[in-house]
Amino acid sequence: MDAHFLQGTGLSRAFGGINAVAGVDIAIGPRDLLCVIGPNGAGKSTLVGLLSGAIASGAGELYLDGERMTGRPMHAFCRRGVVRKFQGTNTFLTMTVRDNLVVAGLGVAAFRASPMPDPDAVLEEVGLSGQARELASHLPHGERQWLEIGMAIMCQPALLLLDEPAAGLSAKDAQRLVGLIHRLRERCAVLAIEHDLGFVQSLACETWVMHRGEVVRRGSYAQIADDEEIRRIYLGRGATHAAH
Amino acid sequence: MSEKHAAGPRLWLAQPALGPKDAPPLLMWGAAVIAAAILPLFVGPWLLSTVRDALVMGILALSYDLLWGRAGVLTLGHTTFLGLGAYGFAVATVQFGQAPVTGLAAGVLCAAAVAAVVGYFLLFAGVRLHFFAIISLAVLIVAQQLAVSWQSVTGGDTGILGIPGLSVGAGGHAFDLGGARASWYAVAVVLLGAIALTWFVCRSHYGKVLDAIATNEWRAKACGYHTSFHLLSVFVVSAVLAAIAGGLMASCSGVVAPDVFSPLLATEVILWVAIGGRGRTGGPVIAAVVLTLLKQTIASYSTDGWPLILGGLFLVCVLFMPNGLRVSGLAAAIRRILRAKLNRPLLHRTSHAQEER
Amino acid sequence: MTTILNILGYVGILALVALGLAIVFGMMDIVNLAHAEWVTIGAYTLAVVQAVAGKEAFWVALLAAPLTGALLGWCLERFIIRFLYDRPLDTLLATYAVSLILQKALELIFGTQPMLVYAPFDGAVPVPGGSYPAYRIFVIAVALIVTAGCWLLFARTRFGMQLRAVIQHPAMAEAIGIDTRRLNRIAFCGGAALASLAGVLVAPMVSVESHLGVSYLAKAFFVIVLGGIGSIAGSILGSAVIGTVETLLGYRVDPSLASAVVLVLSIVVIRFRPQGLIPGFSAAHQLLGKG
């Protein structure tokens, strides 16, 4: 077993009596690519929140590179390489696209006393070079998604958490994203939660299925797709065929 | 790009190259330097002192612009630090007979300590917005009460009199800066220097970081910034600058009394930044100088007029011009009035918490 | 025993002032810094009524002051706060401006000398440990009854349930058909009326001048900090704590030192329990960044 970058055991979080995440064990290695799928309310976003430090775990332990991170604040997670790309968009709306990237990269670089990634190169990578001087609030939704991804890259992640990355992207953009994720895999681990099963299929990686706060299946996408019980979880009883 | 290769503190202060957008501020600063240099030649000592006192208020405005205009931390009790600086200077020079420079240091230290402690307890607990503002007001009120009751140190209601003017000792020689002209130059140097420094820092990467924290603190945390720490730093620096203004004020006027801890003046400070434009370094300073001179003029006609005008001005500004006095602001104000007439129902969910759940 | 009565009196007044603030803050995300001016307004109403109609008109003023307060509160909401629903920080500033204007206006209209007010009855009542002014006991009684009434209204009636719904989730309350704007207005005027009532009650015991409300403003907010936003029980508890601490301390040390201690206490509480002792689960908790 190669040394895992992130190790979580028994991660749990309840919101007022509802177990959003119930005892999840997770271990992610340095170059892993992992997809988490599941119906609405399965706990996927909560899990990402737990892994990025945005939400405190009610029970269980979380370690990054051997360092105990349970209960530590969100910025500590980011500084150690767990970077989250938010669902929807959450950017600095009053600042330009390029400034968004600069701000995203500066904190981590200063903390590690290492150079910041080149913002112009990242702009190139996410295809926003033409909009460098635009205000983030002027960008359409799809381009703001790319800005989010660019900001995540600027944070020099060791583990990139993608929260529904394909949402709102056109089919062409989604394929571009798949390519980008495969390229990113050379530098960091990636965990994506997604609803778009076509996207997950294109990624062709290890896939976990969450249901009611627990991980019920782990396997390759092909295995998951053929599983009767998974279809039932997604479509409810009495469903005949999961078409995708 | 030099940004790529800089690391550590140089990274924080890395500047974008000078461009055409920088021309107006630089020109205005240059003009201000020239004006400050030659004004004493044309103006008599009484008027010079009056404008000099207004310049001291300009320093206070600058300190608040850093805190509220840039970092987005609203406080209602900023004059606490003005008062601490003034009283620190007064106590050190009058009660303990220290040199004015030591007095300034004493005032600065007092203010920094209070800001650090209160700021730490509140900011690191995640207290922001309304509660922070109100507690700052409470701190101000308590400071005023203490200044009145702690008679042995602060002189009670009368305050401290006979505060010496500025003087700087260098190489065994004492340079007396107490006269009208000398103190003018001293204050002008401090003000213009502070403006230049603030402009320089806010232009750099750190200015962008502060902007980001003010705009969307949650997102900044997700980018690895210990936002509470940065806000605390700005709070302390702002307090230090306000304390310097306080020390200068005490030294120039020779007296300090508990009414320096004034909620009314704290309101004016907010107004200066609101009118001058939040985060537009020069604007609040100009607004401060102009409004202070206006206040002096009105006060000579009627003592009650000013608070009413201040309150009214404040109200108008908040309702119709939240972004300061600008042509686009006037247009937005007219639009706002029209929209209010149409009385659109608004679900008042504000966007200040942009958390992801 | 007199100590306990003093404490009860202070706590009762504080509770009346803080209640309105807590509910409005919880419901509307709005901090009304002019709230304490309504205490002043209540006191001045008493002065005016008694100047016109004599000492016995106290009972008239007892009714007139809350009504005046509610009316003026409606004006404030209608002409200023309504424009600022989506800008809570600007509401803070605007109401602060209003409080400045009100204080100055009262000074200009009535002068800077304290106004004359009379308690409706004199005399003392024997209590264990000495005797106690009858009027103060009356104040305690009224404050307790009204506070209890508010709590009953809040916790046990359908109207109160609607208020609580708006506090917890305004959008949801609106979605299920509750007229949030009407409720907000009612709550706002109600809070103003309570503050004015407190003003009438307290007027014969203090100096009635334009700065009367200022000292209650900070205290009311400390009550909310301690007690939590949007919950009546929290406000009552917060008033009890602050009222007790300040009264007891006031016997030993300088009042300004007592205020300082209360300030420090509030800062410490906010550090370690920012949602207050009995939080009402209001959306306003976002303002504290936690909870």
Taking only the tens place, the pLDDT of each residue in A14-41 is 877 777 888 888 888 888 889 988 887 7
Closest CA to B62 of B217, B289, B324, B265: B289
Q: Which of A45-54, A215-224, C23-32, C245-254 bottoms out in mean pLDDT, i.e. has the lowest?
A: C23-32
Q: Check residue A235 and give its pLDDT.
A: 64
B74 contacts C88? CB cut-off 8 A = no
Token match 């706590």: residue? Answer: C11
B178 has pLDDT over 50: yes
The answer to whether A91 faces chain B, any CB pair under 8 Å, is yes
Neighbours of B (≥3 Cβ pairs closer than 8 A)? A, C
Q: Which of B135-144, B172-181, C77-86, C119-128 bottoms out in mean pLDDT, i.e. has the lowest?
A: B172-181
Closest CA to A71 of A48, A43, A50: A50
Taking only the tens place, the pLDDT of each residue in B10-24 is 777 777 777 777 788
CA dihedral C286, C288, C289, C291 (to 10 degrees): -70
Token match 């190489």: residue? Answer: B171
B354 contacts A92? CB cut-off 8 A = no
B349 has pLDDT over 50: no
Taking only the tens place, the pLDDT of each residue in B321-346 is 766 665 445 556 666 666 666 654 44
B58 has pLDDT over 80: yes
Q: How many CB atoms lie within 10 A of CB B355?
A: 14
Q: What does pLDDT average to over chain C?
A: 83
CA atoms of A50 and C204, how far apart (whole Å): 58
Tell me the residues of chain C between 217 and 256 that have a Cβ less than 8 Å away from chain B.
218, 221-222, 225, 254-256
Non-local (6+) Cβ contacts of B202 within 8 A are B70, B210, B279, B281
Closest CA to C36 of B304, B137, B148: B137
Pairing of strands A82-85, A189-193: unpaired
B60 has pLDDT over 50: yes
Angstroms from B1 CA to nearest CA on chain C: 37
Q: Are C235 and C24 in contact (CB under 8 A)?
A: no
CA atoms of A51 and A63, how far apart (whole Å): 10
C286 contacts B146? CB cut-off 8 A = no
C243 located within any domain:
no
B6 contacts A115? CB cut-off 8 A = yes
- Convert C196-219 to b/e letters by CB count within 10 Å (16 or more is b): bbbbbbbbbeeebbbebbbbbbbb
Q: How far, CA to CA in Å, does B261 sit from each of B237, B266, C33?
A: 19, 8, 19
Burial class (CB in 10 A: 0-12, 13-18, 19+), C2: middle
C71 located within any domain:
yes
CA atoms of C191 and B333, how far apart (whole Å): 31
Taking only the tens place, the pLDDT of each residue in C50-71 is 888 887 888 888 888 999 999 9
Q: Check residue C160 and give its pLDDT.
A: 85
Taking only the tens place, the pLDDT of each residue in A175-184 is 889 999 998 8
Closest CA to B99 of B170, B158, B147, B150: B170
Q: Check residue A1 and give its pLDDT.
A: 40
Closest CA to C194 of C70, C43, C10, C48: C70
Q: Check residue B80 and give its pLDDT.
A: 95
- Which chain B residues contact residue C210 at CB under 8 A? none
Q: Are B72 and A92 in contact (CB under 8 A)?
A: no
Q: Which residue has the higher pLDDT, C280 or A87?
A: A87
What is the average pLDDT across A204-208? 87
Angle (CA) C128-C134-C137 rounded to 5° is 75
Angstroms from C106 CA to nearest CA on chain B: 11
Which among A45, A155, A163 has CB closest to B223?
Answer: A155
Question: How many domains, in total, are found in chain A?
Answer: 1
Q: Which residue of C has its CA nearest to B218?
A: C289
Q: Are A115 and B5 in contact (CB under 8 A)?
A: yes
- Which chain A residues contact residue B202 at CB under 8 A? none
Q: Check residue A239 and give its pLDDT.
A: 42
Question: How many domains, in total, are found in chain C?
Answer: 1
- Which chain A residues contact residue B219 at CB under 8 A? 86, 90-92
Using pLDDT thresholds of 50, 70 and 90, give the confidence band for residue B182. confident
- Which chain B residues contact residue A114 at CB under 8 A? 7
Burial class (CB in 10 A: 0-12, 13-18, 19+), C138: middle
Q: What does pLDDT average to over chain B?
A: 83
Q: Which of A229-238, B138-147, C223-232 bottoms out in mean pLDDT, i.e. has the lowest?
A: A229-238
A118 contacts B1? CB cut-off 8 A = yes
Using pLDDT thresholds of 50, 70 and 90, give the confidence band for residue C219. confident
Pairing of strands C130-133, A59-64: unpaired
Domain boundaries, position C115:
2-210
Taking only the tens place, the pLDDT of each residue in B202-259 is 888 899 999 999 989 999 999 999 999 999 999 999 999 999 999 999 988 888 999 8
Non-local (6+) Cβ contacts of B274 within 8 A are B314, B317, B318, B321, B322, B324, C93
Domain boundaries, position A103:
87-156
Neighbours of C (≥3 Cβ pairs closer than 8 A)? B
The three-class DSSP label of residue A17 is coil
Q: Check residue A224 and give its pLDDT.
A: 81
CA atoms of A208 and B201, how far apart (whole Å): 48
Non-local (6+) Cβ contacts of B197 within 8 A are none
What is the average pLDDT across A58-75? 87
Report which secondary-structure segment, H or E, holds C132. Answer: strand C130-133
C149 has pLDDT over 50: yes
- Which chain A residues contact residue B225 at CB under 8 A? 75, 107
A182 located within any domain:
no
The answer to whether C116 faces chain B, any CB pair under 8 Å, is no
Q: Check residue C273 and give its pLDDT.
A: 74
What is the average pLDDT across B260-265? 87
What is the average pLDDT across C119-143? 84
The answer to whether B38 faces chain C, any CB pair under 8 Å, is no
The three-class DSSP label of residue C111 is coil
Q: Which residue has the higher pLDDT, B278 or B188?
A: B188
pLDDT exceeding 70 applies to what percent of chain B? 85
A105 located within any domain:
yes
A150 located within any domain:
yes
The answer to whether A15 faces chain B, any CB pair under 8 Å, is no
CA atoms of C35 and C14, how far apart (whole Å): 13
Q: Are A197 and A37 in contact (CB under 8 A)?
A: yes
Taking only the tens place, the pLDDT of each residue in A144-162 is 888 999 999 999 999 999 9
Q: Check residue B62 and give its pLDDT.
A: 95
Q: Check residue B8 and give its pLDDT.
A: 62
Pairing of strands B173-176, B167-170: antiparallel
CA atoms of C38 and C102, how far apart (whole Å): 10
Q: Check residue C280 and give its pLDDT.
A: 55
Q: Check residue A153 and give its pLDDT.
A: 92
A136 located within any domain:
yes
Q: Are B70 and B203 in contact (CB under 8 A)?
A: no
The answer to whether A94 faces chain B, any CB pair under 8 Å, is yes
Non-local (6+) Cβ contacts of B296 within 8 A are B50, B54
B215 contacts A94? CB cut-off 8 A = yes
CA atoms of A176 and A146, how far apart (whole Å): 10
Spell out the domain ranges in chain B: 24-260
B107 has pLDDT over 50: yes
Tokens of C169: 């989730």
CA B338 from chain centre, in angstroms, equals 34
Closest CA to B317 of B289, B291, B346: B291
Q: Which residues pair with A209 in a beta bridge?
A: A37, A217
B3 has pLDDT over 50: no
CA atoms of B105 and B100, how far apart (whole Å): 9
B354 contacts A118? CB cut-off 8 A = no
Using pLDDT thresholds of 50, 70 and 90, give the confidence band for residue C253. confident
Q: Which residue has the higher pLDDT, B307 or C142?
A: C142
